[in-house]
Amino acid sequence: MSDPAEAAALARVPDLPQWVDTRGMLLTERATVSFPQPPQFTVDGFVVELAARALISVVAGPPAGLIAERAHALRGEVNVLCAVDSVAVVCAALPRWVQRRVRLQALPGIMAWEEAADRDTSVFTLGDAPPLAHVHEALRAELVDALEGHPTARFVPGALPPRQPVDASPSPIPIAAAWIGGRPVAFCYPVLQSETLWDVSVDTLPEFRGRGMAGRAARAMIRHMRGSGKAPVWGAVETNTASLSVARQLGFEPAGELAVFTVR
């Protein structure tokens, strides 16, 4: 990483659950880092942005003007993430934006259920992906994007800018699925990854919700990612009680809190 701003940002963002998205953004090597000018890399707050995903992270309370400038510069419906101690400055920068709280959860260690695979689950990448014609359009597009190296799940869904080939992940994105009747009906994949953590995205077809399918898909993905030495971080807005309930059933425990700001 030759850019001094990126290197300084990476040195100040630890590999912890609260920072998995921010550190994951930086490790894509496609993120942009903005410091106040002239920068004091060891003390100033800063903004990390991943334009292709309309995603921003505010770190250590940079000036409100810098936050506003970068948030309004991106295309698409932007998600602005920040730690709780930076909420006030983001509110000042984006006074009409909607704030939501995000609950983060992590596993306390290797779980007993990781020892045995669930039946009717699989992990695939683009080369061996099953047909997805039965999946509703929005989720199918998200899954195809992920398989093609453009994972797009965010805490608050919304429009994204047109994707570019240069934005694709250089390594295949795996997706785990739980199956019923010969078709995958629940899916889990990593959105952003740090050296030791990955950010969980999970969804189930509406007609199969409430049947434990999301948990089965998540368990399959967790086992798979353990092979890379990476542990899951489960984040969801606090109103998404269904997602947070699945995490608790799997043994996840509270691991912090974030705020996410959007225009609506």
Percentage of residues of the chain with pLDDT beyond 90: 96
Mean pLDDT across the chain: 96
30 by Cβ neighbours in 10 Å (0-12 / 13-18 / 19+) ranks as middle
Nearest residue to 79 (alpha-carbon basis) of 156, 192, 20 = 156
Q: What is the pTM of this model?
A: 0.95
pLDDT digits (tens, 9 = 90+) for 51-95: 999 999 999 999 999 999 999 999 999 999 999 999 999 999 999
- Asked if residue 203 and residue 85 are part of one domain, the reply reads no
Q: Report the residue count for the chain.
A: 264
Locate all alpha helices (DSSP H) within 37-185, ordered by sequence. 64-73, 87-93, 137-147
Out of 60, 86, 104, a domain closes at 104
pLDDT mean over 195-208: 98
Element (DSSP H or E) covering residue 4:
helix 4-12
- Asked if residue 122 and residue 249 are part of one domain, the reply reads yes
- Asked if residue 91 and residue 125 are part of one domain, the reply reads no
Out of 65, 82, 104, a domain closes at 104
- Asked if residue 153 and residue 42 are part of one domain, the reply reads no
- Asked if residue 118 and residue 231 are part of one domain, the reply reads yes
On the question of pLDDT at 1 being above 70, the answer is no
Structural domain boundaries enclosing 248 = 112-255
pLDDT mean over 20-29: 96
149 by Cβ neighbours in 10 Å (0-12 / 13-18 / 19+) ranks as middle
- Asked if residue 174 and residue 134 are part of one domain, the reply reads yes
Q: Per the structure, how many domains does the chain have?
A: 2
Residue 137 within any structural domain of the chain: yes
Q: What is the CATH number of the domain that holds 116?
A: 3.40.630.30
- Asked if residue 96 and residue 26 are part of one domain, the reply reads yes
Which residues touch 186 (CB under 8 Å, ≥6 apart)? 177, 178, 202, 203, 204, 205, 208, 213, 214, 216, 217
On the question of pLDDT at 2 being above 80, the answer is no
Percentage of residues of the chain with pLDDT beyond 70: 99
Where b means 16+ CB within 10 Å and e means fewer, 207-236 reads: ebeeeebbbbbbbbbbbbbeeeebbbbbbb
pLDDT mean over 27-43: 96
Out of 104, 123, 153, a domain closes at 104
- Asked if residue 100 and residue 122 are part of one domain, the reply reads no
Residue 152 within any structural domain of the chain: yes
pLDDT digits (tens, 9 = 90+) for 124-181: 999 999 999 999 999 999 999 999 999 999 999 999 999 899 899 999 999 999 999 9
